[in-house]
Amino acid sequence: MSLLNPSKGWRSSSSRLLALYSFLFVAWSGILMGVLYWEVTGYLSNLARHSLMQRQHLFSRFQGYQLVEALTTSEKFDMRAVDAYGLFDSEYRPLSGPVNSIPANLPLDGQIHQLSGCIDSDNPQLPQDSCDAVATQTHDGGWLILVRDNGSLFAVTTIIWHALLWAVSLTIIPGAAGWHLLRRRPLRRIRAIQASAESIVAGDMARRLPVSNSRDELDMLAVIVNAMLDRIEKLMFEVKGVCDNIAHDLRTPLTRLRAQLYRIQQQSPEESQQAQQMSQVIAEADMLMARFRGLLRISELEDHQRRSAFVVLDPSPLLQELYEFYLPVAEEEGLTLDLRLEPSLPPILGDRALLFEALANLLSNSIKFSPVGGQVILSAYRFGNDTRIEIQDSGPGIPLAEREAVFQRFYRCEGGSQQNGFGLGLSIVAAIVNLHGFKLHIGASPAGGASLILECRRGSALD
């Protein structure tokens, strides 16, 4: 059984929490920087208007030649062409300055106004787009137009905006890097816990979830689960021990009972009713003893200490021997048994005798349930670096709803109720498969019967 992988994508809760924290941190930083940008822009705008207002008050003190000289002198000190002026007579004719005409959208009210289309000038360096402008009437009835370019303000705010963008970028990059690094350790621990859990699900009840030295929430959960596993393992071994002892202890009295029944049968006249009844009772006793042997066999196979006898073996000779052993049986039942092996199959790790027993059980079931004239195919092929062994038959097949239940002890399909058996064969097969760490799948064959696929993964028994 394969557990859900929690380490992919956004399935990890730690990844989601770290990503949410990074998003909130970046969002809050963006809001903070936006407020800072808004405040700085407003402050610089007010500062620019205040500077233009000071120039207006300064030049209002001059008149005539002194005004023209003061304006010319101020223009010399304006190295960046931020400020401009235009001096006009009472008829709005230009007298001095780079501004050739009064902007049409500038009210002559002595107040500062922001203009979108700024001034008409021959100097390309002077403001042409957005600017602040004010019209002041001189002492002789003329007009003085003072203009301050907003481009300088925009240049400062652009610098601030670039700095904010760099700040956001430098916030996102460490946040993303921190998110990636902080999520790695929890995910490694989750993978270790998942590996241990899969081993436990596969039947290794001695395995426990790993516990680190950090003693965090995962460790608390692992300790709780390990305590539960200790208790479950203890209860399972107690129940298993009781069942094994019952099965073992009952074999001796059953053997004695069968011997007594057999002596009574031998003393009874042949073809008598008493002899026939004794034969039926002896058959029932034999079936009961066979069930006890099967239960003890499953208990023996569930002991993982049997893995100490595992060796690396070539599956081809094993399957060839199995084919030759069951070929006469199939011919006697009127069936065709085919063997299909790919060359150079990957070696597998396991107990040869146990694998032969499991495959023999599967193959005998296929032969048993196939009708006369049917076909049973035993095949093996490479699947990646592993070997797959498949048995297909032309029998009634196994219903989809019963494909998991057939491995339970004493379970028998409805279609197979007329066949001899007591429902422990596939349970023994399942115990052998679990002991090796292999996988067994049940499907449908092209002929309409059952298809049994044994995945012999290399190195599974040592995982």
The more confident residue out of 446 and 408 is: 446
Residue with tokens 């069942």: 243
At residue 104, the pLDDT reads: 78
217-302: CATH topology is Helix Hairpins (1.10.287)
Q: Are 152 and 130 in contact (CB under 8 A)?
A: no
At residue 390, the pLDDT reads: 92
List alpha helices for 312-417, DSSP H.
Answer: 315-332, 352-369
Q: What are the residue boundaries of the structural domains of the chain, listed by start?
A: 1-201, 217-302, 305-462
Q: What are phi and psi of 279, to 5 degrees?
A: -60, -40
Q: Are 132 and 105 in contact (CB under 8 A)?
A: no
* Burial environment of residue 234 by CB neighbours within 10 A (0 to 12, 13 to 18, 19 or more): exposed
Looking at residue 140, its amino acid is D
Percent of the chain with pLDDT over 90: 7
- Average pLDDT value over all residues in the chain: 76
The more confident residue out of 220 and 236 is: 220
* Burial environment of residue 53 by CB neighbours within 10 A (0 to 12, 13 to 18, 19 or more): middle
- Rounded to an integer, the average pLDDT of 194-208 is 77
CA dihedral 206, 212, 216, 217 (to 10 degrees): -30
The H-or-E segment that residue 338 falls in is strand 336-341
Q: Are 19 and 179 in contact (CB under 8 A)?
A: yes
At residue 378, the pLDDT reads: 92
Q: Which numeric CATH code is attached to 305-462? A: 3.30.565.10
At residue 338, the pLDDT reads: 92
Highest mean pLDDT among 83-87, 157-161, 244-248, 311-315: 311-315
Tens digits of residue pLDDT in 285-315: 776 776 666 666 666 665 555 566 678 888 9
At residue 400, the pLDDT reads: 79
Q: Which of 426, 411, 416 is nearest to 359 (CA)?
A: 426
Q: How far is CA 101 from CA 41, 91, 108, in A?
A: 30, 11, 13
Which residues, 6+ apart, have CB-to-CB distance to 143 below 8 Å?
87, 88, 89, 90, 92, 102, 108, 135, 136, 137
State the CATH class of domain 1-201. alpha beta
Q: Do domains 1-201 and 217-302 have the same CATH topology?
A: no
- Rounded to an integer, the average pLDDT of 237-256 is 69
Give the pairing type, strands 336-341 and 375-383: parallel
Tens digits of residue pLDDT in 2-22: 455 554 445 556 666 767 777
Distance, in Å, from the CA atom of 220 to the CA atom of 241, rounded to the nearest integer, reads 32
Highest mean pLDDT among 8-17, 387-396, 431-440, 450-459: 387-396
Tens digits of residue pLDDT in 320-361: 999 999 899 999 989 999 999 998 888 888 888 888 888 988
What burial letters (b/e) apply to 192-223, b meaning 16+ CB within 10 Å? ebbebbebbebbebebbbebeeeeeebbeebe
- Rounded to an integer, the average pLDDT of 426-447 is 83
Looking at residue 341, its amino acid is L
